[in-house]
Amino acid sequence: MPIKERIRRPKIYRGWWVISAPFLASALSVGAGQYGFGLFIEPLEDAFGWNRSQISASLSFTAVGSLIAPFLGRVMDRHGAKYIMAGSMGLIAISYLLRPLMTELWHWYALSLIQYLGYTGGTILPAGRLVGIWFQRTRGRVMGFTAMGANFGGLVMPPLLGLILPILMWEGSYLVLAVLSGAMMLYTLAFVNEHPNSADTGEDESMTRNSPVILTGWTLQEAMRSKAFYAITLAVMMGTFTYAAILPQIITHLTDQGVSVRTASVALSVFAICGMTGKLLMGFLSERITARYALMINFTGQAVFLILMTWAASPVVMWISVPLYGYFNGAFGALFQLVVQNAFGIRHYGSIMGSINLTTMVSFGIGPILAGASFDLTGSYTVVFVIVAVLFLIGALSMTQAGMPEHRPVRGEVSA
């Protein structure tokens, strides 16, 4: 390589700056909205007299994000991820900004609706597309890294919220989240780009040097004619119960088991760290054994350690089950996106993932209600933990029927 060209070569591959946006957006959205959700339960109970079922039911509005996912996916396939992602983060910022003005339960639900309208477009859909464009050779491990954002949020957001809640109360804490979400919107506008050029070498020099990136993949209609599409869809729906019914309840489950709030917070941080590790290692494993087999292992691991977590009153059991469930829980967020990419390609990823994501209305609609009812009727989350563990095993069985469809020539391929 000529010396002049070496000097001009970017020190950091621009793709890393691009994927930092979905990483940070997931950290903020998932870290505050799911990992940190339990920290707001008692302040809201004290302020308004709402019970846990009423508060947790707001998580069901995540299903609304799933409802609009097919539309967002089609728009993203045509116009790119930048403005979908920025607009979504703007909606989340508005939802947090208006929360201190709440006086009625329906206000809580209306603002949760606005928040979750931005959830899918701010996290899941952009990540898969951007990684697929900028990291074609090392897609598995980079998808794992990008999906780490959610667990990084779980690591930093609960301690941050635990620090500011006693000082700023719940109202001020929501204002802080509004400012952070607005800043994330501006960050997205500044850094997200889908057009590598000849200067953007580093991940795979042959990918961009002298030629544009070519996006390939099945159309939604072609994908829907394959058995793999429906097997993957069922597996994703089963897997997302981990976010809807389990993740927001972990802190309260541990404290209900007699664990101190301080220890439960530390355990959740360990959970998040292990989730980050799981995303990276399982993403790397998917490059070796395929994402489909890695996801089957993942479902089995989640089921085993979720059941074990029901005995978290024992310190030994807690420090085994929580980290290992976190490992597999975290890996799921990367693996299901990789499964879709590997099966159907990137060109129409938004439309296909959006349609698959539509079915998660079931998990996000039912999951929080199951969790709240489990506690209100039995005084614990054991029942919902067992139910979700069974759903994970159904997801693993479904993936056995998701043999990757045979590659088909793509009509009218276009460059990015």
Determine contact, residues 114/91, Cβ cutoff 8 Å: yes
Question: Which residues neighbour 318 within 8 Å (Cβ) at sequence distance 6 or greater?
Answer: 254, 257, 259, 267, 309, 312
Question: Residue 373 class from Cβ within 10 Å (0-12 exposed, 13-18 middle, 19+ buried)?
Answer: middle
Q: Which of 42, 158, 171 is nearest to 96 (CA)?
A: 171
User: Residue 113 in 3-state DSSP?
Assistant: helix
Q: Which residue has the tokens 């299901």?
A: 336
pLDDT of residue 404: 62
For residues 395 and 390, what is the distance between their CA atoms, to the nearest angstrom? 9
CB 70 within 8 A of CB 233: no
pLDDT on residue 208? 43
Q: Distance between CA 367 and CA 361 in Å, rounded?
A: 10
Q: What is the DSSP letter of 59?
A: G
Query: What's residue 386's pLDDT?
Result: 95
pLDDT at position 95, please? 95
Q: Which two tokens stand for residue 385?
A: 């933990």
pLDDT at site 201 = 53
CA distances from 270 to 35, 108, 246, 281 (A): 12, 30, 16, 16
Query: Of 75, 142, 74, nearest to 337 (Cα)?
Result: 142
CB atoms within 10 A of CB 99: 22
Q: How far apart are CA 343 and CA 231, in angstroms?
A: 12
DSSP letter for 345, please.
B
Give Cα 343 to chain centroid, integer Å: 20
Q: What is the pLDDT of residue 224?
A: 92
Confirm if 50 and 105 have CB atoms less than 8 A apart. yes
Top CATH class, 9-405: mainly alpha
Helices H / strands E in the chain, number of each: 22, 2
- Per-residue pLDDT 10s for the chain (416 aa) are 455 455 455 567 888 999 999 999 999 998 888 778 878 988 999 999 898 878 878 877 877 877 888 888 888 888 888 999 999 999 999 999 999 999 999 999 999 999 988 888 888 788 888 988 888 778 888 888 888 888 788 778 888 998 899 999 999 999 999 999 999 999 999 999 887 765 555 555 444 444 455 667 788 889 999 999 999 999 999 999 998 889 878 888 998 899 987 888 789 888 888 988 998 899 889 989 999 999 999 999 999 999 999 998 899 999 999 999 999 998 998 899 899 988 898 888 888 988 998 888 888 778 888 988 898 889 889 999 999 999 999 999 999 988 766 545 444 443 33
Q: How far apart are CA 337 and CA 344, in angstroms?
A: 11
Cα–chain center distance at 182: 19
Rounded CA separation 30/24 (Å): 10
Residue 412's contacts (CB-CB under 8 Å, 6 or more residues apart) are none
Q: Say if CB 340 and CB 209 are below 8 A apart.
A: no
Domain boundaries, the chain: 9-405
At residue 212, the pLDDT reads 54
Neighbours of 15 (CB within 10 A): 22
pTM of this structure: 0.76
- Hey, how many other C-beta atoms are within 10 angstroms of the C-beta on 320? 16
pLDDT of 129: 87
